[in-house]
Amino acid sequence: MKTEARFVTDGMYLRDATGRVVILRGCNLGGDSKIPASPPGAPLSADVSFVGRPFPEDEADAHFGRLARWGFTFLRLVITWEAVEHSGPGVYDEEYLSYLRSVLKRAEAHGISVFVDPHQDVWSRWTGGDGAPLWTLEAVGLDPARFDAAGAAITREGQGSSYRPMSWGLNYLRYAAATMNTLFFAGNAFAPGFLVEGVPVQDWLQDRFIAAMCHVARRIKDCAAVVGFGLFNEPHYGFVGLADLRSHGRITAPSGAVLSAFDAMASASGYPRPARRFALFGMLTLPGRETINPAGESVFRPGHSCPWKLAGVWTDEGGGPVLKKSGYFAAFPAGHPRAGERVSFCGDFLKPFQLRLMAALSKKHAHYLFFAEGVPMGERVSWRPEDLVRDGERPFQVVDALHWYDGLTLLSKKWRSWIVADAETSVPTFGRSAVRRSVRDQLSRLAARPRAEGMPAFLGEFGVPFDLNGGSSYRTGDFSGQERALSSYYDGIDAALLHSTIWNYAAGNTHRDGDGWNTEDLSIYCAEDGGGRAVRGFSRPYAMATSGMPLAMSFDRDTARFSYEWDSREGVTEIYVPGHWYPDGWETRVEAAGGGSAAASCDSRPAEQRLYVTTGTAGRLRLVITPVA
């Protein structure tokens, strides 16, 4: 069965089947898909089921109908490797995949398109995140039951009431997740003698992940809603590229304790190690030290030991751990064909993996778009036209998928309209007008990089917590702060003409448990709040499909004035116009960009929340929509 492409890449643009340039807008569905639907409480067990994520099948029409009314016709569908293959290598959960197919068929009926996002954060639920199955950890000789005690991971289950909100990002710097990411992406280079079932560990792990995703694609091959796949959410370098193992990678948590990379290795092997206490996202060192693994637990199963010790990175001498190769992960090691050359995580390891995954998926699904991510707010994969060519076929259709968050708001759970920190440089900006400019500049800068390579830019994640200020909105019912924050983000998205999917829509969100994962609460939906919340912050007019080239788009939330400029061609341009901004109707005006009337006709359809602008000649046009006076 051949599936026709709903969208195709054309340089920095995406086009629909009629050749119009589209702007894709929607959400991530959903944050609670990171955890099993049953048994309740998401226990750290392999005996689980994800049937019911993102929502029960009999609720699908209600949820998809709501999303479509909000103008969200493009979704990033969150699944996890664990959901597909939790019972063991090659043992796929066919009940879950059958359920997934049924849900996708309902999306199709609502005119909604999706791409499948194989989601992970800090490797797995056992390492304080989500994603990979338990057996991936056991296969490399790790015993996850000891992670918390040994300080190899920070989990809510292990920490209990002492778990710090938004501390899950620290797991990137703890041993378990850092080791698994390093083995998965770069095991052939840095652990060349480490085999699983006689196969190099990197190949063994990647082969199983790719096979699982290919099986997913096979099971949903007749779902017309599916337009492609993501290529691994928020990939992380682990230890790769660290110049000195006596240091560590970037801190992405508001407070806590951080180990050096070497101390993380030593503590995992049973040595109590000191950790630096910090606040203000690592900018402030607190007095005193915290001892990690005071009881001297080892995280290794019998007959196994640290792969980095086996590689000669460190050893035991005089009853304690001794670092031998502090720069081991900064360059290709001795014995490698490129020994001594400095490594690039994205260029040397992530990109080859992404190419492998694209090649495997596209064998049977030539129409797929592939959404390729780099390290969030860090190194990205750089693509050349020759990278994407495949034998006898059209090039891979790659979309650069980036993430952006207002980090101060996300991690502190406080929104201040007068301050924002640059997500890449951490440089703060003060003043409301300056903050709005900074958001626009940050997003435009991020979008410019893939576009300079002739590739579409897609903002796959951004959002705002709904439990700001200790959950005050739940006590007052006032979500105006979140609405203003989201409006400022969408102002930047409009200015950059970005495709976007907000994080997130969690059907199971509650005031008590948020999205159900690690104290996060970013869902734009909550049944306790009557459905959508801060809707006017994210549901606003935008150009869905343009006959011609988009040039500029803006929306003024104070006056509900929408303005759109494009270099028109003969055809129909489609605008989403949500009724909640225009309860008494809207007025339209189309003019030549230099002034004067334009040869265009407008067909307003309030019941459909659509405006269709038909143009017969080329030329730069400006559309203005305002509320009926």
Same domain, 210 and 64: yes
Taking the C-alpha atoms of 107, 110, 115 and 118 in order, what is their torsion angle to the nearest 10 degrees?
-30
Q: pLDDT tens, 438-482?
A: 999 999 999 999 999 999 999 999 999 999 999 999 999 999 999
* Single-letter residue type at 474: Y
Q: How far is CA 143 from the centre of its chain?
A: 28
Same domain, 377 and 491: yes
Interatomic CA distance for residues 98 and 104, integer angstroms: 10
| Higher pLDDT pick, 202 / 5 | 202
Residue 289 belongs to a domain: no
The CATH code of the domain that includes 589 is: 2.60.40.1180
> Positive or negative, the Cα torsion across 115, 230, 376, 120?
positive
pLDDT confidence bin for 329, thresholds 50/70/90:
very high
In 24-75, alpha helices (H): 60-69
pLDDT higher than threshold 80 for residue 390: no
Interatomic CA distance for residues 29 and 23, integer angstroms: 19
Interatomic CA distance for residues 515 and 537, integer angstroms: 19
Same domain, 469 and 389: yes
Residue 252 belongs to a domain: no
Residue 264 belongs to a domain: no
Of 539, 558, 580, the residue at which a domain comes to its end is 539
Same domain, 369 and 445: yes
Residue 246 belongs to a domain: no
Q: At residue 289, what are phi and psi to the nearest 5 degrees?
A: -125, 155
pLDDT higher than threshold 70 for residue 314: yes
Same domain, 488 and 600: no
Q: pLDDT tens, 108-167?
A: 999 999 999 999 999 999 999 999 999 999 999 999 999 999 999 999 998 988 898 889
Same domain, 127 and 217: yes
Same domain, 424 and 359: yes
Interatomic CA distance for residues 322 and 336, integer angstroms: 24
Q: Residue 594: its pLDDT value, please? A: 73
Residues 6+ apart with CB under 8 A from 565: 550, 551, 552, 553, 593, 620, 621, 622, 623
pLDDT higher than threshold 60 for residue 2: no
Q: Give, as one character, the DSSP assignment of residue 124.
A: B
Percentages helix, strand, coil for the chain (3-state, rounded to 5) are 35, 25, 40
Q: At residue 441, what are phi and psi to the nearest 5 degrees?
A: -65, -40
Domains identified in the chain, total number: 2
Same domain, 457 and 596: no
Residue 171 belongs to a domain: no
pLDDT confidence bin for 392, thresholds 50/70/90:
low
pLDDT confidence bin for 1, thresholds 50/70/90:
very low
The CATH code of the domain that includes 417 is: 3.20.20.80
**Which residues are annotated as catalytic?**
234, 461
Same domain, 533 and 553: no
Indicate the average pLDDT of the chain.
96
pLDDT higher than threshold 70 for residue 596: no
User: Among 327, 166, 174, which residue's Cα sits nearest to residue 238?
Assistant: 174
User: Among 28, 115, 70, 128, which residue's Cα sits nearest to residue 403?
Assistant: 28
**Three-class SS state of 214:** helix
Same domain, 555 and 534: no
Q: pLDDT tens, 343-365?
A: 999 999 999 999 999 999 999 99
**Mean pLDDT, rounded, for 212-226:** 97
Of 489, 522, 539, the residue at which a domain comes to its end is 539
Residue 114 belongs to a domain: yes
Q: 50 is written with which tokens?
A: 């994800």
Q: Residue 598: its pLDDT value, please? A: 75
Q: How far is CA 300 from the centre of its chain?
A: 31
Taking the C-alpha atoms of 112, 131, 234 and 496 in order, what is their torsion angle to the nearest 10 degrees?
20
* Number of helices (H), then strands (E), in the chain: 16, 30
Residue that has been written with the tokens 């089947």 in this structure: 17
**Mean pLDDT, rounded, for 45-73:** 98
**Mean pLDDT, rounded, for 6-32:** 97
Same domain, 533 and 567: no
Which of the residue ranges 8-17, 43-52, 593-602 would you say has the lowest mean pLDDT?
593-602
Of 518, 539, 560, the residue at which a domain comes to its end is 539
Same domain, 353 and 482: yes
Residues 6+ apart with CB under 8 A from 320: 271
The boundaries of the domain holding residue 507 are: 22-134+180-237+342-539
pLDDT higher than threshold 50 for residue 431: yes
pLDDT higher than threshold 80 for residue 620: yes
Residue 7 belongs to a domain: no
Residue 258 belongs to a domain: no
N residues, the chain: 629
